[in-house]
Amino acid sequence: MARYQTAVVRPAAGAVELNHVLRNTYLLLSLTLLFSGVTAGISVVMNFPPMGVIVTLAGYFGLLFLTSRFRNSAWGLLFVFALTGFMGLTLGPILNLYLSFSNGAQLVATALGGTGVIFAGLSAYALISRKDFSFIGGMLMAGILVAFLAALVTLIWPMPALSLAISAMFILLMSGLILFQTSQIIHGGETNYISATVTLYVAIYNLFLSLLHVLSIFSNDD
């Protein structure tokens, strides 16, 4: 009887822990997206200039490292907001570029709505189906590395066709990353809500930018 009670209590405790991580992840993700939106809005209104590739990458990877390093302490919360706020600031000049198009507002709204629909749909699918998507982790890592390096190449040698292909690739990769990270939380592969939040935020950020780029190309508005 004692063994049976132990067997019942352990799964129940595990379920409580998973629900705790999932709830905290979505709460923190909502707050960071809101904060990032505020900093992006400030950047748009103040017409901040682009920070440049070196500053952007240094700021991103530096803050990402600090967030990961302190993910188990209160400092982790500070750095996750610093990271997402910084990414919001870098988004401002990009949004101003697209908003300068005749249909810029429509493009941004469509990309934003599409990002929300994709994230909600994929998250719901992972949560409802309870499928384990851990098997795509290696493919995602390899794909993201290839896409990132290809994106750096287009910064040096602009190639519209390759740029479009990279954006389409990022849409698929970020969609997969959302499925993977949500699955990791559900199945206990990710127990730190700060790390989970950063992964989902990065997926949403890149998904939005990639959708925006693809939509602008097919809108035939230069």
pTM: 0.89
Residues of the chain by 3-state class (helix, strand, coil), percent to 5: 85, 0, 15
pLDDT surpassing 60 at residue 85 = yes
Cβ count near 20 (within 10 Å): 12
pLDDT tens digits, one per residue of 10-30: 444 455 666 788 999 999 999
pLDDT tens digits, one per residue of 130-183: 999 999 989 999 999 999 899 888 888 888 888 899 999 999 999 999 999 999
User: Using only C-alpha atoms, what is the Rg of the chain?
Assistant: 19
pLDDT at site 142:
94
Rounded Cα distance, 35 and 116, in Å: 16
